[in-house]
Amino acid sequence: MTVLSSGEFWAFVGVMAGIYTLFTLGLQIQFGLAGLLNFGQVAFMAVGAYTMAILVVKQGWSMWLAAPLGVAAAALAGLLVGLPALRLRGDYFAIVTIAFSEIVRWVATNEDGLTGGSQGTINLRGEGVAAQYNSQWERFQGWLGEQLGIRSKDVVMLLVVWSVALLLTWLAGRLARTPWGRVLRGIREDEDAVSSLGKPVFRYRLQALVLGAALAGLAGLFYAWQFSFFSPDDFQPLITFFGWMILILGGVGRMWAVPVGALLFGFLFAATRFFDFPPFSYLDSADRAYVRLLVIGLLIIGLVLVRPQGLLGRRQEMVLE
């Protein structure tokens, strides 16, 4: 159990929770505010990460220029999906998003020339040359660590990710309380009623989708920086559903529920790693990996039974018709 007492391990858990906070904040804007069922959020994360990596490695751009372009590319992807698909009603839109996320993953897997293919970003310069997009980020991390007097790169990363995540959570919370957020919440309740009150519903839903996609793109950047390497396999649909679990755990419709849900989810995910006591120790490690997901699922079902509104949600809002 030495890992459990290691600061680096928990810093890693914290970084992941921060990245998932950004990722899920997008879902909270899309679903919690506007009622959009986006089951393809991971695609926007992939677009953000790949755009940055490709621009740095292939075009030789500065990371500081490539990063905002990664976010912009994710937002653009949201726009391109939304323009046709948001004309569909709820469930059909959900189907399109999940299909889109699989299309992105398969394109990334098969377009070796653009993305490095299934081998991931290490192949961005072609076979045999190890491509690297991360040197500028690591230099920045080192520099920031020196300024703050922090040795561990993980802790520096933790501070950066959470500063950004908390700032954006706060901003999103403010946005939700503006007249703009009010229209979105209205659309979540009844889009026909809102359009009968003179609001162009389509435009608002598109804005929510694009904002959420940009946040996923940002999460993709941090994901790429954290691991210095990624491949299409990192963008499985499961990631999107982890985001949804966080959303439900924390509470739908409350921005501050996202970091809380992400921390709880990160903790559950990390803690179940150490199931090396009976009865789990009777299984081999491969089986244990599945049992772990099963245990997480059961824990979440249990929590939802006790608090269907999530940790920070309002119970009253669950029962109104």
Partner 1 sequence: MSALLEVSGVSKAFGGVRAVDDASLSVEEGSITALIGPNGAGKSTLFNCISGFLRPDRGQIALAGRRIERLPPHAIVHAGLARTFQTARALTRLTVLDNVRLAAPSHPGECLRNLIARRGAVRRREAQVTEEAFRLLRLVRLEDYADALAGTLSGGQRKLLDLARILIASPRLILLDEPMAGVNPALREELLAHVLDLRATRGITFLVIEHDLAFVMRASDHVFVMAEGRVLTEGTPEEVRRDERVIDAYLGTDV
Taking the complex as a whole, the smallest distance from the CB of residue 196 to partner 1 amounts, in Å, to 6
How many CA atoms does the CB half-sphere of 167 hold within 13 Å?
7
Place of tokens 């954006």: 168
For residue 112, give the nearest of 272, 254, 231, 19 by alpha carbon: 231
Nearer to partner 1, 135 or 178 (CB): 178
Nearer to partner 1, 16 or 206 (CB): 206
Dump the DSSP string for 263-275. Answer: HHHHHHHHHGGG-
CA–CA separation, 303 and 236 (whole Å): 25
Taking the complex as a whole, the smallest distance from the CB of residue 238 to partner 1 amounts, in Å, to 30
Taking the complex as a whole, the smallest distance from the CB of residue 246 to partner 1 amounts, in Å, to 21
Nearer to partner 1, 149 or 179 (CB): 179
CA–CA separation, 107 and 54 (whole Å): 14
Residues engaged in binding partner 1 (CB under 8 A): 175, 178-180, 182-183, 185-186, 188-190, 192-201, 207, 253, 316-317, 320-321
Dump the DSSP string for 52-103. Answer: HHHHHHTS---HHHHHHHHHHHHHHHHHHHHHHHTTS-HHHHHHHHHHHHHH
Nearer to partner 1, 148 or 197 (CB): 197
Taking the complex as a whole, the smallest distance from the CB of residue 255 to partner 1 amounts, in Å, to 15
Nearer to partner 1, 184 or 249 (CB): 184
CA–CA separation, 291 and 288 (whole Å): 5
Nearer to partner 1, 58 or 307 (CB): 307
Nearer to partner 1, 180 or 275 (CB): 180
Taking the complex as a whole, the smallest distance from the CB of residue 25 to partner 1 amounts, in Å, to 16
Taking the complex as a whole, the smallest distance from the CB of residue 92 to partner 1 amounts, in Å, to 19
Number of Cβ within 10 Å of residue 111's Cβ equals 13
Amino acid sitting at position 179: P
Q: Is the dihedral of CA 117, 118, 124, 125 positive or negative?
A: negative
Taking the complex as a whole, the smallest distance from the CB of residue 34 to partner 1 amounts, in Å, to 13
